[in-house]
A = this chain, B = another copy of it.
Amino acid sequence: MRQVYLDYSATTPVKEDVLNAMIPYFTEKFGNPSSLYTVGTVSREAIEKARGQVAKLINAQDKEIFFTSSGTEADNWAVFGIVDALKNKGNHIITTKIEHHALLHTGDFLEKHGYDVTYLDVEPDGRVNPEALKAAITDKTILISIMFVNNEVGTVQPIKELAAIAKERGIVFHTDAVQALGNVHIDVKDLGVDLMSVSAHKIYGPKGVGALYIRKGVQLSNFMHGGAQESKRRAGTENLPGIVGFGKAAELAYENLDAHIKKVSELRNYFIDQVMSKIENVTLNGSKEFRHPGNANLTFEFIEGEAMLLYLDMKGIAVSTGSACSSASLVPSHVLSALGIPVEKIHGSLRFTVGEPTTKEDIDYVVEQLVEVVNKLRSISSVSKTKGW
């Protein structure tokens, strides 16, 4: 049976070239990068090379890149680091209702510790209204954190415009660019952001390595305390092969960016067109124009996402859903909720993400199976267009 993975926003396989770059650093070139002897300095140089590769992908200076263990850690560091460093300046943070949990739950934690957190509403397409941001700023605002590209619906934010608002008011601006990296052009200098989180496993690099871009001159407290690694700003023996892999993945993403965007967006558009023409009562969630090139978040009315997901899995197809039924807490997707999508529709949502290995044949297969699955589940369902919800 054909296996079609269409969940590249959840994670990506490591590319062959990336894995090959990593392998030597597990065994022969395994030295601790902090060690002074040759076995250590070889490792140090490998890390510095990777730093350059990641920096280049976002047009940062090498020394503005600080490796972490994940996008999650980068998000935690950005937020905790700023609120601690600026605690005498204020206790108010602004973020959005559609952030990744790495931001939202950090916000929740801070709210329990005396901070005020504003979670901005978004427009129906998932975009933040710059006027809403302006209106939310107070004298106590010390950090604005708005994600670059949303992981569920793929909406791309006007980061440059939002960062300019922060700059005008002298407020630190952070963006979670975990989904943006390798999928949209990123130039930190042009964007004017102070802090940016990225993660390797979304760009065909390994899981368990990320980075925080810290614009030169931005002061923030450390999050991970200990050894003198990463210019004394992030402690812990470096994940050497992981960092090397991130570097290689970033290099490939840099070289391949335009072709990647073209390829996945064409396939994604073809997929959406096919689905729309073959299945009724389907809607596309999010923005048409400002969208992650591989993302198709669709609602199939009258049926439930987890059921679709399982059926598709039986046919070798991997996708995800915003349905409450699939979440550990039985809460429907906070992102789709924030877009104003009614709960019953959220239940019927599926996220498909096209990636580099995806082919047209894969898409055709998925469309074919999807038609079957949707028809089957609709035939079982107690709701329908005619019967109503």
Contacts and interface: CB of A to CB of B under 8 A. Distances in A.
A72 to B, nearest CB: 4
A312 B39 CA distance: 12
Contact of A206 (B28, B241, B320, B326): B241
Contacts of A222: 109
Interface in A98-113: 100-103, 105-106, 108-109
A32 B16 contact: no
A32 B19 contact: no
A23 B209 CA distance: 17
Contacts of A19: 23, 26-27
A70 interface: yes
Contacts of A23: 19
Interface in A300-337: 306, 309-310, 312-313, 317-320, 326, 328-329
Contact of A109 (B10, B105, B225, B318): B225
Interface of A: 5, 7, 10-14, 16, 19, 22-23, 26-28, 30-32, 34-40, 69-73, 75-76, 100-103, 105-106, 108-109, 199, 201, 206-209, 221-222, 224-228, 232, 235-242, 306, 309-310, 312-313, 317-320, 326, 328-329
Nearest to A110: B225
A182 to B, nearest CB: 16
A346 B322 CA distance: 59
B318 A37 contact: yes
A313 B103 CA distance: 45
A105 B233 CA distance: 12
A224 B31 contact: no
Given A35-B318, A102-B236, A105-B226, A26 B10 contact: no
Given A106-B225, A109-B225, A241-B206, A26 B39 contact: no
A208 B37 CA distance: 21
A32 B70 CA distance: 14
A227 B102 contact: yes
Given A70-B69, A72-B227, A310-B36, A30 B7 contact: no
Contacts of A73: 69, 224, 236
B72 A235 contact: yes
